[in-house]
Amino acid sequence: MTLVLVAHGTRDPAGARVFHQIACAVRRRLPGVRVEVAFADVHGPDVATVLGAVRGPAVVVPAFLAAGYHVRVDVPAQVDHRALITPPLGPAPALVAAAHDRLVAAGWRPGDTLVLAAAGSSDPRARADVRRAALLLATRTGADVQVGYIATGTPRLPDVVAAAPGRVAVASWLLAPGLFHRSAQTCGAPVVADPIGPHPRVADLITRRYLETCCYPNAA
């Protein structure tokens, strides 16, 4: 079964490269499986176009950190009867662990005020996913974790950082570089982690989603 990895899309070439790097890592984990990349927004190819070029069944893996509009509406609308859709990547504990690794690499220290930066969504279910990720990060770090939104929703990331006591470290609940991460870098915090990017745990999770869906399609 073909694996179609669906990313949000970005005008930043570095962001697009990240998704292709992730796809290459998945191919190494799934030798013999065709892995294609589609984009839900900004640029193509879109999901329908990629699936139209696929012969036989496919597994669609939404590479999103929360179940917002694209996951619940946009992507399913482009999927035909030959394809199964997995749950989105977030807020899986494996991704929180990857975000924690990026945070440590950026210079986070125990005792820092910790903020999780997310793009945001008008969908309350997506915001609940972000809060779940914040709770998982709090468990890993032993610190209280506040959430700050970059594009949609409140509280806004700069406001959370400005009101936070002490040294502030921002964990990026973003998968790839682009406009959202550039905005996070200007939030005023002395420590801002890189996006999760092509972390090995991302490819591991996508591989697991694919295999679970192939073996247990009714669970997808």
CATH code for the domain in which residue 110 is found: 3.40.50.1400
Structural domain for 82, as ranges: 2-90+198-219
Compute the distance between CA of residue 195 and CA of residue 172 in angstroms, rounded to an integer.
5
Q: What pLDDT is stored for residue 218 in this prediction?
A: 61
12, 29: one domain: yes
- Quick one: pLDDT band at residue 220, thresholds 50, 70, 90? low
Q: What is the pLDDT of residues 14-70, one digit of tens each?
A: 888 999 999 999 999 999 999 999 998 778 899 999 999 999 999 999 999 998 877
126, 69: one domain: no
Compute the distance between CA of residue 186 and CA of residue 220 in angstroms, rounded to an integer.
39
Instruction: Give, for 65, the enclosing helix (H) or strand (E).
Output: none
81, 7: one domain: yes
Mean pLDDT of 71-99: 92
163, 152: one domain: yes
Q: What is the pTM of this model?
A: 0.93
Q: Domain total for the chain? A: 2
User: What's the token pair of residue 160?
Assistant: 């959370």
